[in-house]
Amino acid sequence: MSIQENTLPPKARRRVTAEARNGEDAEVKVAFDDNRIASLVFGQFDENLAHIERRLAVRATANGNQVQIRGKPEAAEQARRVLSVLNSRIKDGQGLSPGDIDGVIAEAIAQGSLFPAASDAPLSAFDQISTRRRGPVKARSANQHAYLQLLKRCELTFAEGPAGTGKTWLAVGHAVSLLEQGAVSRMILSRPAVEAGENLGFLPGDMREKVDPYLRPVYDALFDFMDSRHVERGLQTGMIEIAPLAFMRGRTLTNAVILLDEAQNATSVQMKMFLTRLGEGSRMVVTGDPTQIDLPGGQKSGLIEAIDLLKHVGGIGHIAFHHGDVVRHDLVRRIVQAYEEAGKSPRGDQGAQRR
């Protein structure tokens, strides 16, 4: 006995064998009505299918415009849903990068329900930001979707979580979109000038050259969303300002979008000073990873303190990313997961003390 159900928009079909009901491997068959889309979903030499196999521990065999998936019932259903969303992305004219695929897989795992009714819609309805250089940039996970919504709705947003989850990148993209729309007149990007375990010593050059090493990741994100000539022009005219956190004291920042990156390395005094710079018509985004604090002498992180103190204050958004949200590279996700698991064990007490 078998169950057949039409679930995918392109008349793709799912079949779960009777053995799946007894806890054994399930068989899911998915068919696409467009061979061109099917080849893009499968990837060159079926590399996308191979990636899905590794991440979900299933076997995926392509035959023409069909895929046969075998594995544990929940994993097989997750793989089917991943193919459904990838199909939708291609039909919408979006490309598929490894990060896109990882994001879809992570979200399918996070949703976790077996055979959910009409469950493909949320994955295809994620929020997005648009800039002239990149065009529409869509969230890759539910947390990124929630993050973009907070950025659009809240005047102050905190984003915490591990590397590779898009905290800074999406914040910079949102800042660029606000600047291009005329919602703000300038963009201010800042970081605490704290060395991550290294002694950089004396840095030659003018102020911009001195702080560039600390702010290079912010520059990288900025160049992703703006042409280099526009960035340089913005820096020259003051439309874009990049400065270390210490230089914010005494200022009132009006009609601006302000981003503080690596905020876990801001002290309590610095964080209070920064947050109280917010002026009329401005938006502020604070991002950081509480597990990577480089403050000397065991000082308390201003990011952790601020999130705790302000959690009940209206108009402030907060999003916490986890290893499942990592979209940079699958290996990065596994590294972050390993560190998170180590931090929960008795051996992770030292890491907990740093927080």
Q: What is the pLDDT of residues 94-141, one digit of tens each?
A: 777 777 787 788 777 765 443 333 334 444 567 788 888 877 777 877
Residue 279 three-state SS: coil
**CATH top-level class of 2-124:** alpha beta
Residue 259 has pLDDT above 70, yes or no: yes
Q: Which of 355, 321, 325, 307 is nearest to 156 (CA)?
A: 307
The pLDDT of residue 346: 53
Q: Which fold has domain 128-354?
A: Rossmann fold (3.40.50)
Q: Where are the domains of the chain?
A: 2-124, 128-354
pLDDT 10s digits, 151-187:
999 999 999 998 888 899 999 999 999 999 999 999 9
**Gyration radius from the chain CA atoms:** 23
Higher confidence at residue 302 or residue 211? 302
pLDDT tens digits for 141-153?
788 889 999 999 9
Contacts with 60 (C-beta within 8 Å, 6 or more apart), sequence order = 46, 49, 50, 52, 53, 67, 68, 69, 79
Residue among 335, 338, 321, 341 nearest 168 (CA): 321
Q: Which residue has the tokens 């596994």?
A: 334
Task: Give me the mean pLDDT over the 55-61 stretch.
Answer: 88
Q: How far is CA 313 from CA 39, 156, 248, in A?
A: 50, 11, 23
Q: Take residue 292 and report the two structure tokens written for it.
A: 């990577």
Would you say 274 and 266 are in contact if contact means Cβ atoms under 8 Å apart?
yes
Looking at residue 289, the DSSP 8-state letter turns out to be -
In tens, the pLDDT along 267-286 reads 999 999 999 999 999 999 99
- Quote the distance between the C-alpha of residue 117 and its chain's center: 27
Instruction: Output the average pLDDT for the chain.
Output: 78
Return d(Cα 29, Cα 27) in angstroms, integer.
7
**How do strand 135-138 and strand 283-288 relate by DSSP bridges?**
unpaired
**Could you read off the pLDDT of 296-342 as tens digits, one per residue?**
877 889 999 999 999 889 889 999 998 777 776 667 667 767 876 77
Do 181 and 129 meet the contact criterion of CB atoms below 8 Å apart? no
The confidence score (pLDDT) of residue 239 equals: 94
Whole-prediction pTM: 0.65
Burial tier of 175 (Cβ tally within 10 Å: 0-12, 13-18, 19+):
buried
What integer is the mean pLDDT of 57-81? 87
Q: What's the pLDDT at 186? A: 94
Mean pLDDT of 37-63: 88
- CA 284 vs. chain centroid, Å, equals 18
Mean pLDDT of 50-61: 88
Per residue in 216-237, pLDDT (tens digit) is 778 888 888 999 899 999 989 9
- Distance CA(126)–CA(141), nearest Å, equals 8
